[in-house]
Structure 1
Amino acid sequence: MAETRSRPRKERTENANRRRRQLLDAAKRSILTHGLARTTLATVADEAGLSQGVAVFYFKSKNGLLTETLRDLYSQYEALWMRALEKAGEDPREQLGAIVAADFDPRACGPKVLPLWFAFWGELRFSAQYAEVAQEFDQRRRDALTRVWSALMQGAAPGAAEELADWMETLTDGYWQHLHVAPGAIDRARAERATRVFLGRMVPTLVGHIDRA
């Protein structure tokens, strides 16, 4: 009897998760098609093939839906670079190389992802909810990079690891911007290679590890 009672609850949870997934994916497609400002609960529901009432039921408002869409975008990116970091082993040089590879993976900065990043980033200063989501994920990312650089630069001056983490993020952000604004001028492979070369020149002990494409 316990199994009989629990099965409907499990099915409801699975259905809810499936509907949320449909709507989040549809929200991303709507942003790519209509832009962030013109994306509404109606455009998302239409894209998902669901009623607007379903969208309202799960996310309450356009702002709620878009905030969770940004969180989902960050979550997928975080899962990508964290898996790469875990697979790299304990050598911080290999870890940095793995993070660079993840940063230029099409799932992180492909043509269907970069417009989403820049659409939301353009609104961060106008939306406390967006800014809060970004700060949460950015801080975890910065902490992870700082730990890797600290392991690599043992004995360095205080604050050096944090500074190197900031430089690395700035470099990646710059290449993402180039890929978004002028995709014909540079591609992901070239941007990744340039990032590896720069880091290898900045920290010679990385040569032979970070500069492997």
Structure 2
Amino acid sequence: MAESRTKPRKERTENANRRRRQLLDAAKRSILAHGLARTTLATVAEEAGLSQGVAAFYFKSKNGLLAETLRDLYSQYEVLWMGALERAGSDPRDQLSALIATDFEAKACGPKVLPLWFAFWGELRFSAQYAEVAQEFDQRRREALTRVWDALIQNGASGDADELCDWMETLTDGYWQHLHIAPGGMTRARAERAARVCLARLVPALVGSIDADK
């Protein structure tokens, strides 16, 4: 009897997760096709092949859906860079190199992702929901980067960990913007190499240790 009661609940949960995944993916496609302002529950439902009522059931409103879409975008990015850190091992130079590589993967800044980042970032000043989501994920990223830079400083790099974090994030943001605005003039591989060279020059102790000539 216990199994018969729990199985339907499990199936309902799985179905709900599937629907939410459908709608979040559809929201991203809608933003790419229509822009953030013109994305609605109706355009998302159409992209997902579901009724608008289903979209409203799971996310209540357009703002709720878009805030969760931004959270999903950050979550997928976080899985990428956290996984890279874990695979890199304990050497902070390897960790830094892995983070740079991950920042220029297609899953982080490819043509189907960058327009989403910039669409949401353009609204951070005007949406407390978006700003709250961004702050949550940015804080975890900052804490992880600070730990890496603190370890590098102990191993001979000079500078302040907070300032070095700023440099690294500014490089990434700048190259992402270049890739977004003028994709014909920059490639992800070229942007990654340029970021490596710049960091190696800013922090001479890293020369040769983060594949500056990659």
Shared fold (TM-score, shorter chain, > 0.5) = yes
Tell me which amino acid in the other structure corresponds to 2:57. F
Tell me which amino acid in the other structure corresponds to 1:149. W
RMSD over aligned CA atoms reads 1.5
Q: For residues 123-179 of structure 1, what are the alpha-carbon distances to aligned partners after superposition, in whole Å with 9 as ceiling and x for unaligned?
A: 000000000000111111011000000001028899800110011001100000000
Q: Hey, what does 1:173 align to over in structure 2? A: 173
CA contact (8 A) 2:157 2:203 kept: no
Q: Hey, what does 2:96 align to over in structure 1? A: 96
3-state SS of paired residue (1:144): helix
CA contact (8 A) 2:100 2:192 kept: yes
Name the CA distance, whole Å, in 1 between partners of 2:157 and 2:148: 15
Change (3 A) 1:195 1:159: closer
Name the CA distance, whole Å, in 2 between partners of 1:162 and 1:120: 25
3-state SS of paired residue (1:211): coil
Q: Hey, what does 1:132 align to over in structure 2? A: 132
Name the CA distance, whole Å, in 1 between partners of 2:162 and 2:70: 26
Deviation at 1:90, TM superposition (A): 0.3
Matched, 1:63 2:63: yes
Name the CA distance, whole Å, in 2 between partners of 1:130 and 1:118: 12
Matched, 1:28 2:25: no
Q: Which runs of 5+ in 2 are unaligned?
A: none
Change (3 A) 1:157 1:105: closer
Tell me which amino acid in the other structure corresponds to 1:107. K
Deviation at 1:80, TM superposition (A): 0.3
Deviation at 1:211, TM superposition (A): 2.1
3-state SS of paired residue (1:126): coil
Tell me which amino acid in the other structure corresponds to 1:64. G
Spell out the pairing of 1:7-156 with structure 2 (5 A cutoff).
7-154=7-154
Name the CA distance, whole Å, in 1 between partners of 2:60 and 2:26: 16
After TM superposition, where is structure 1 displaced by more than 3 Å over at least 4 residues in a row?
Answer: 155-159
Aligned-pair identity (%): 81
Q: Which runs of 5+ in 1 are unaligned?
A: none
Q: For residues 40-99 of structure 1, what are the alpha-carbon distances to aligned partners after superposition, in whole Å with 9 as ceiling and x for unaligned?
A: 000000000000000000000000000000000000000000000000000000000000
Scaled by the length of structure 1, what TM-score is found? 0.97
